[in-house]
A and B are shown apart, each in its own frame.
Chain A
């Protein structure tokens, strides 16, 4: 086993004039969950497509399970499973037929495929809907089937592109449990998400990308601590959020900050002090560009 399950060096990709990835460096340890966090259009899906051999990078290199994604495409394909942004299931077939098809394509015999399919249907709580066409499935059921398909044979690295987008809270939590179970089996999971909570709950390490660059990377705790000890939240009389200001949490610092702000804020402004959340990390890192793009 190589030292890193996924290793990315100086990756760049442009489509026409648009620079999508502008020099990405990453490393993911084997058997961990890695979350790539970023707004729409940040380049998350493009990076997953490069790592899963769907497209080639313009510059830079990437290795998955020790294999180069450009030179050893076939070896990479044998080491990964990709669950795309839109549930990659065949809507016309039943859940069972989807699994049987993927088992056979993965090289299992018919008998092995049947056994594996019924195991996965039970494990992902789809046995009752096994004979129903996927067209009739709910979003959560599709995603569970999607994940089940990714597991027909054991692959060391699993890519999940926005696995819980569009799911309700209960389905999302159920899927999180599934993902954590996979990690416990030793599978490396590379997921993208727009949800900070998801990254916070699931990931061993996180990278925030924005405009094709890694804005920051580390564990959830590290990312939050970089914002300082405490965050001041300022709301007006109608309880509308005015400002979020990171501070060290020390009394002098808090007083100075509030003194500076006092002149420019309405007198009925409410102040609360809390620990930084992943949202604060995200906003602090990406807000500058956003302001520019909205201007």
Chain B
């Protein structure tokens, strides 16, 4: 009879995170439908906007340069929304009870999903940019501007992924998480992602100009194509920071409260 190893001490915080990140990345890779969807949907939308609507919106054919930042964010928002479903699925499966009764920081199971979502979305963003370049996207950014744009994209992905993770924690079922997550995905359409907000009715402009997506899009657009950024950069970082801090705190509280209810 084999005698089980006696434990010196449980896994370190770092190791716990590494294990959970590996788990979530495996989950992402094995959910081929979701992965293909996360990459195909933005590409289809970009082709749709560029070739179908683009001519009407900007007859000069320059619309692709306008729309790429919006597509990147739409793609990131869509990609991170699946985090809500992943987290909710974990919370409804018995496995979370096992993690919680181990001497580890079990919230790392959520961190794992967040990091996997970041990796997934970065890949999708790169694919979107690649396809954009093929269909005529001509960015003017230098190396530093590319890095800055990448930083903003990463910040945006993290912000929304943590927000969706919190939604996944509180909704309690994968289908509910998917429903609530869907509502948030309309935000990019009500921003400067596809058309300048100045073309919208007045009442909608008020919302479109003051919601978080617009400054993020204007910042990325400015960095990549040289349109004026002005104060939008600070608004973008400010919005993301506030939502990020709120979402992470919400995750902590929801995770602890869920534990009490089970």
Whether A104 contacts B4 by the Cβ 8 Å rule is no
Docked complex Cα distance between A109 and B43 (Å): 42
Docked complex Cα distance between A81 and B7 (Å): 13
Docked complex Cα distance between A106 and B101 (Å): 11
In the assembled complex, which residues on chain A have CB atoms less than 8 Å from the CB atom of B103?
74, 77-78
Verify if B183 is at the interface (C-beta below 8 Å from A): no
Whether B30 contacts A77 by the Cβ 8 Å rule is no
Whether B11 contacts A104 by the Cβ 8 Å rule is yes
Whether A78 contacts B10 by the Cβ 8 Å rule is yes
Whether A92 contacts B26 by the Cβ 8 Å rule is yes
Docked complex Cα distance between A153 and B101 (Å): 14
Docked complex Cα distance between A74 and B104 (Å): 9
B contact residues, range: 35 or more
Within B1-38, the residues touching A (CB, 8 Å) are 1-11, 15-16, 19, 22-23, 26-27, 30-31
Contact with A along B184-212 (1 / 0, CB 8 A): 00000000000000000000000000000
Whether A106 contacts B6 by the Cβ 8 Å rule is no
Whether B102 contacts A77 by the Cβ 8 Å rule is yes
Verify if A56 is at the interface (C-beta below 8 Å from B): yes
Verify if B59 is at the interface (C-beta below 8 Å from A): no
Within A116-173, the residues touching B (CB, 8 Å) are 116, 119, 123, 133, 149, 151-154
Within A93-122, the residues touching B (CB, 8 Å) are 93, 97, 101, 104-108, 112, 116, 119
Whether A86 contacts B2 by the Cβ 8 Å rule is no
Q: Closest A-chain residue to B16, C-beta based?
A: A105
In the assembled complex, which residues on chain B have CB atoms less than 8 Å from the CB atom of A81?
101
Verify if A183 is at the interface (C-beta below 8 Å from B): no
Docked complex Cα distance between A123 and B27 (Å): 27
Verify if A53 is at the interface (C-beta below 8 Å from B): yes
Return A142 CB to nearest CB of chain B, in Å.
Answer: 10
Docked complex Cα distance between A89 and B19 (Å): 15
Q: Give the tally of cross-chain contacts (CB within 8 A).
A: 99
Docked complex Cα distance between A81 and B98 (Å): 8
Docked complex Cα distance between A77 and B102 (Å): 5
Known: A55-B262, A101-B19. A116 touches B101 (CB 8 A): no
Stretch of B66-74, B89-97, B156-164, B237-245 contacting A (4+ beta carbons < 8 Å): B89-97
In the assembled complex, which residues on chain B have CB atoms less than 8 Å from the CB atom of A149?
98
In the assembled complex, which residues on chain B have CB atoms less than 8 Å from the CB atom of A213?
none
In the assembled complex, which residues on chain B have CB atoms less than 8 Å from the CB atom of A85?
94
Return A249 CB to nearest CB of chain B, in Å.
Answer: 43
In the assembled complex, which residues on chain A have CB atoms less than 8 Å from the CB atom of B93?
86, 88, 91
In the assembled complex, which residues on chain B have CB atoms less than 8 Å from the CB atom of A88?
93-95, 97-98
Return B111 CB to nearest CB of chain A, in Å.
Answer: 14
In the assembled complex, which residues on chain A have CB atoms less than 8 Å from the CB atom of B98?
82-84, 88, 149
Return A202 CB to nearest CB of chain B, in Å.
Answer: 19
Verify if A233 is at the interface (C-beta below 8 Å from B): no
Q: List 8 A-B contacts (CB under 8 A).
A: A56-B260, A101-B23, A104-B19, A105-B102, A107-B9, A119-B2, A123-B2, A154-B6
Interface residues of chain B, those whose CB is within 8 Å of chain A, are: 1-11, 15-16, 19, 22-23, 26-27, 30-31, 93-95, 97-104, 259-262
